[in-house]
Amino acid sequence: EADIYQTPRYLVIGTGKKITLECSQTMGHDKMYWYQQDPGMELHLIHYSYGVNSTEKGDLSSESTVSRIRTEHFPLTLESARPSHTSQYLCASSEFYGGNEQFFGPGTRLTVL
Amino acid sequence: AQTVTQSQPEMSVQEAETVTLSCTYDTSESDYYLFWYKQPPSRQMILVIRQEAYKQQNATENRFSVNFQKAAKSFSLKISDSQLGDAAMYFCAYRSVDREYGNKLVFGAGTILRVKS
């Protein structure tokens, strides 16, 4: 079944650690997105990609980086995690053209101690 | 830049009753898309309903319908016959058709909907 997956679902780590949040989709979508969402708050776009080897920064500045080497895979990396990075990270994907919806993954809830 | 405003941080509704969630937006564009997304507690965000600005007819999906007032830049969501499973955070979102903005969504702050049995 076509879907969008995120791992891990929950992550608790110490300050200074390098982490990678995984996002994969099996829907054949060209466009992928990363959003940051604090509990009970709105979503803020931090990264997006139009296809392989395409990455752009979103509206909210983030110390994270992303890569898009394969169409289905869009990982997000934090080189040195800090408590200020504690948040929920949502991955989404959509078709390239049209008003089609963005499909969201289940999210990764990150806590940095 | 476009903005989306949801003025109701929290709403409550009795099971089987009707509730309306408000959303206003600001844009200088004449063509765009509007969405309502639902985010249940600890579960995946899903699309509830979508409206294309060039269509005058209000979108409807089963118990969910919108009141799209383009001149007033208003896009409210009506949930009829509310069910316990409707309890969630609801986000209103705007998407430009301008390729400069790609498929990026601008979200409102969200409205928490509680359903009482």
* B25 vs A60: CA distance, rounded Å: 19
pLDDT, tens only, A46-92: 999 989 999 999 888 889 999 999 999 999 999 999 999 999 999 99
* Predicted confidence (pLDDT) at residue B43 exceeds the cutoff of 90: no
Mean pLDDT, chain A, integer: 92
Chain B: give the shortest CA distance to residue A90, in Å.
9
The answer to whether the Cβ–Cβ distance between B108 and A42 falls below 8 Å is: yes
Question: Beta strands B10-14 and B111-116: pairing type?
Answer: parallel
- pLDDT for B93 beyond 70: yes
Tokens 């969200």 map to which residue? B110
A95, pLDDT greater than 80: yes
Within 10 angstroms of residue A96's Cβ, the number of other Cβ atoms is: 12
Say yes or no for a CB contact (<8 Å) between B108 and A104. Answer: no
Question: What per-residue confidence (pLDDT) applies to A101?
Answer: 85
Instruction: Count how many residues are written for chain B.
Output: 117
Query: pLDDT tier at B42 (50, 70, 90 boundaries)?
Result: confident
Task: Find the closest chain B residue to A3 by CA distance.
Answer: B44
Rounded to the nearest 5°, which phi and psi values hold at A83?
-55, -30
Q: How far is CA A61 from CA A41, A78, A93, B22, in A?
A: 17, 13, 20, 29
Q: Using the beta-carbon criterion (under 8 Å), do B110 and A41 form an inter-chain contact? A: yes
Percent of the residues in chain B that have a pLDDT greater than 90, as a whole number: 80
With 70 as the cut, is the pLDDT of residue A99 above it? no
Nearest CA in chain A to B108: A42
Compare CB distances from A99 to B45, B95, B108 and report the shortest one's residue.
Answer: B95
- The predicted model gives B2-6 an average pLDDT of 93
Q: Closest CB to A43: pick one of B50, B95, B107.
A: B107
Give the gap in angstroms from C-alpha B117 to the nearest C-alpha of chain A: 23
Q: Does the pLDDT value for residue A41 go beyond 90? A: no
Decide if pLDDT at B41 tops 80. yes
> Which amino acid, A43?
L
Q: Do A105 and A4 touch, CB atoms closer than 8 A?
A: yes
| Distance of alpha carbon B111 from alpha carbon B37, whole angstroms | 11
Mutation choice for A interface testing from B103, B104, B105, B113 by most A CBs within 10 A: B103
